[in-house]
Amino acid sequence: LEQEREHLRLSVARILQYRPTLIIVGQTVARNAQELLLQAGVTLVLKVKHSLMKHISRLTGADIVQNLADIRPDNFGTCQRFYVRSFKLAENAQQGQGKTASKAKTLLFLDGCPYKAGCSIIL
């Protein structure tokens, strides 16, 4: 168990040497690694579909890396700003005992990407 923690610590240190502020992954990340990234001030976005990762890659100039050992400085992309915003959706129909439930949709925005190859339209 201690050996696994040390391996995670070294893996996170390898990533942090490039000073990222946002990491987007297609799967999940070990809890200990998540905590180390959080302590370093890195925002981590989990379980992003591969098709969306391709779009983000194209817009930011980042490479999709499959193996941590393959990370190089030129793999990282840039954007001027990223932020998260939640939008309240219309209230749902009655839900038992006369209560109505409202849902929210949370979106991640990447502004100021170097490549002007995409846009978002929200209707």
* Prediction pTM value: 0.79
User: Using CA atoms, how far apart are residues 22 and 8, in angstroms rounded to an integer?
Assistant: 18
What pLDDT digit, counting tens, does each position of 13-56 carry? 999 999 999 999 999 999 999 999 999 999 999 999 999 999 89
- The CA dihedral of 69, 72, 49, 34, to the nearest 10 degrees, is 70
What confidence category does residue 104 fall into, taking pLDDT thresholds of 50, 70 and 90? confident
- The CA dihedral of 76, 79, 84, 88, to the nearest 10 degrees, is -130
H-helix segments, the chain: 2-16, 31-39, 50-60
What pLDDT digit, counting tens, does each position of 14-26 carry? 999 999 999 999 9
pLDDT of 86 strictly over 50: yes
